[in-house]
Amino acid sequence: MTDVVLWERIEAMRREMPATELRRLPHPRIELYAKMELTNPGGSTKDRAAYWILREAIRRGEITRRTTVVESSSGNFALSLSWLCARLGIQLVPVLDPNVNGATERTLRRTWDRVEKVEGPVGAGGFLLSRLDRVAEVMKEVDHGYWPDQYSNTDGLRGHYELTGAELAAALPRLDYLFVGISTGATIAGLSQRVTRDYAGVSVVAVDVAGSVILGGPPSRRYLPGIGSSIRPPLIDQATITESVIVSEREEVAGCHDLLREHGVLAGGSTGCVYAAINRYFADRQGPAPVVAFLCADGGEPYRNTIYDPAWVDAHHLGPAAGATAASTKGPSMATPVTEWTSPPQDEAEFVSWLDARCAQAPVQCSPKQDGWHVFGYAEAMEVLANPGAFSSATAVDLPEGSAFQLFREGNLSWMDPPRHRQLRGLVSRVFTPRYVAGLAPMIEACVEEYLAAVRGRPRFEYVNDFASPVVATVVARMLGIPSQGQELFRAWSGDLLSLIDPGSKSNSLKQVARRVRLMAAYLHEYLARRRRNPGDDLTSALVRAELDGERLSDDEIIGLIALLLSTGQAATLTLVNAVICLDRHPAAMARLRGDPDLLGPAVEEVMRYRNQTTRVARQSVREATVGGQTIPAGQPVTVWLAAANWDRRVFDRPEVFQLDRSPNPHLALGYGIHFCLGAALARQEIVVALRRLLAQTSHLSVDYEASRLLDPRLIFGASELTVVARWTDEA
């Protein structure tokens, strides 16, 4: 039953909560607005979610004047609950973790008799799981406990819909982009539902921090609270996310400082992340300025001893010179020109030493043979990849007119620069969302089981062509809604693509592959026409329907995109190959993984870092730019050696050690910047599922290298054929 006294109190408080100011911030390329949530009574945007959660619980009679509210939060949500509970006259037990700001903790301890603080993280679930464990304990101890459960309580989402979102819609007649930092998912879910209702064609861009798992990234140690999460919060699935941007903690710190210098706003970490994301996203924007809004989610005062303290920033290597998340400062600090250039050797071990030596010698080098510039260092690779205005992807590839492979040109994001890249990627990201990919889990499991069943029981099998490649091709085909006959074509084509990257392969005939590409193009045109007449709930139909700024994809672009998904998707096949090679060469790691399958997530990240499938990516400098202290003139081919950057000793401690649970592991195997792998979430999901089932169904796996064909590591780490010796268990 509703406690009427409490209900009247909370309704009166709603009338006292004024809408926060919408402030216009001058910006050279966009019309930018900040909604100043930091002026809320609790100091942050969380006030709205906390208010609505308490209000609804009071209305349902779940909170009365005898209630003790118990909640896990590392900061703002606890502060919002704190003033609300104090005003309502009910008790609060906040449960904090060691990342909490000192100022927040002091305020809470001064307000409440009991404040709980956990000590250590729980596995990959981090501090959040420790806090949730402690909440459960406290709930057992207190009488009339109420747990708001901000991570899955849809009332929090509703608060942002009814309050924050409604205020935004009332103040802003037009909105093209809304950037939202994500943590519990409530803010982005509530706001995205509201703005997509109120503004036609608005894009909602989710901003997460490296090390958070919300958008499918690998978990790693983070120093700053307020954004990201070590578990994927269920509320995120209720958000309509058009695109996402992942920001490093170093960029987060820079974003906060920029906001302060450029606009005089002292904001907290999540706001700095969002501001950095906006600047990165619109760095090359030309043409009419879109209307962009974001929340100034909280103030910077609690971060005085962290983000705004130069000593803390230096100690955590988050300043401009550190170059990477959690980078160490060992090794060369400046690039030096190189006089002695040796060509990369083909032998794998020698090649890895060559990369290591080059990186140690100078992270940026110019080859005297005039074959361009080579970037080996981690921070320097990020500099190139983050600057598409200077380093173009469009000019890096040339295809003869009339070539069958023209199929790969239309809609090929990899070979595109802004602004076209941004438009097209925006359209694709609108449908190929993390939520969409998460929903593919049952289909991926089924594909893996199907192909495992085909090799199961064989003492030796050809892992690439009988397992990894068909699994990856079938997943792409089924995701696109391709019927079974067409799936066969996808698998054959996938095999062709693999043979193309192995110059010595018997089945490598350019003519034959070109014939199949033409066949595939004809098939896809016919399939697309069918889908246009008769749409389904697959990715192809979603691509047909997708619209951004009044623009839709042409048939050639959709077909080019499908070709791109299938061809770049092969990286997942080769990463599955690399995983087995790494585990074969590190039997102790294989045994450990068999005993603790929860390590699969970090183990896959380590495989990507250690045997970096995409050895290098190509760019062309289109204007002069300085990278790592070296001036690269316009018109130069630039090779970014991702495999070297992922072994950069300034960033990775003992990179030559294959360390299953390496953390942090901010590798660049999936790229960086605007071309960051679009299929990252899908790749991670299919690789983890395939390895989990393979390990569960075998007691022994090893590689017969004599009967295998490893690829040339100077181009790609992987194998076109891999004979695996297996002992199978009874588990099916």
Span of 92-100, 152-160, 323-331, 569-577 interacting with ligand HEM by CB under 6 A: 569-577
* Nearest of 53, 101, 114, 98 to residue 75 by alpha carbon: 101
Q: What angle do CA 158, 163, 169 make, to 5 degrees?
A: 110
Q: Which of 323, 470, 679, 713 binds ligand HEM (CB under 6 A)?
A: 679
Is residue 645 at the binding interface for ligand HEM, with CB under 6 A as the rule?
Answer: no
For ligand HEM, what does the binding mask look like between residues 391 and 430, x meaning CB under 6 A?
--x-------------------xx----------x-----
Is residue 276 at the binding interface for ligand HEM, with CB under 6 A as the rule?
Answer: no
Task: Extract long-range pairs of 337-340: CB within 8 Å, 24+ residues apart.
Answer: 337/362, 337/365, 337/366, 337/630, 338/362, 338/365, 338/366, 338/368, 339/368
Q: In the numeric block, which tokens belong to residue 227?
A: 């954004």
Q: Which is nearer to ligand HEM, 90 or 475 (CB)?
A: 475
Q: Which of 158, 675, 693, 714 binds ligand HEM (CB under 6 A)?
A: 675
Is residue 682 at the binding interface for ligand HEM, with CB under 6 A as the rule?
Answer: yes
Q: Which is nearer to ligand HEM, 300 or 411 (CB)?
A: 411
Say if CB 27 and CB 291 are below 8 A apart.
no
DSSP code of 714?
T
Find out whether the peptide bond into 503 is cis, omega within 30 degrees of 0.
no
Is residue 540 at the binding interface for ligand HEM, with CB under 6 A as the rule?
Answer: no
Q: Which is nearer to ligand HEM, 257 or 422 (CB)?
A: 422
Q: Which of 617, 695, 703, 711 binds ligand HEM (CB under 6 A)?
A: 617
Smallest separation, CB 565 to ligand HEM (Å): 4
C-alpha 311, offset from chain centre? 29
DSSP code of 159?
H
With a CB cutoff of 8 Å and minimum separation 6, the contacts of 423 are 548, 549, 551
Q: Which of 568, 646, 697, 723 binds ligand HEM (CB under 6 A)?
A: 568
Q: Which is nearer to ligand HEM, 266 or 413 (CB)?
A: 413
The β-bridge relationship of strands 203-209 and 177-181 is parallel
Span of 10-18, 189-197, 534-542, 568-576 interacting with ligand HEM by CB under 6 A: 568-576
What phi and psi, each to the nearest 5 degrees, are found at residue 479? -60, -35
Neighbours of 398 (CB within 10 A): 6
Span of 133-141, 230-238, 679-687, 691-699 interacting with ligand HEM by CB under 6 A: 679-687
**Calpha distance 106→100 (Å, rounded):** 10
Specify the DSSP element, H or E, that contains 71. Answer: strand 68-72
The interface with ligand HEM within residues 210-249 (CB under 6 A) comprises none
Smallest separation, CB 681 to ligand HEM (Å): 9
Q: Which is nearer to ligand HEM, 218 or 628 (CB)?
A: 218
Residue type, 410: E
Smallest separation, CB 605 to ligand HEM (Å): 10
* CB neighbour class for 302 (10 Å; exposed up to 12, middle 13-18, buried from 19): buried
**Calpha distance 144→66 (Å, rounded):** 7
The interface with ligand HEM within residues 573-612 (CB under 6 A) comprises 575, 608
Q: Which is nearer to ligand HEM, 224 or 687 (CB)?
A: 687
What phi and psi, each to the nearest 5 degrees, are found at residue 649? -70, -15
Q: Which residue is nearest to ligand HEM (CB)?
A: 679
Span of 98-106, 230-238, 658-666, 674-682 interacting with ligand HEM by CB under 6 A: 674-682
Under the rule (CB under 6 A), what is the footprint of ligand HEM? 393, 413-414, 425, 476, 564-565, 568-569, 571-572, 575, 608, 613-614, 617, 669-671, 675, 677-679, 682-683
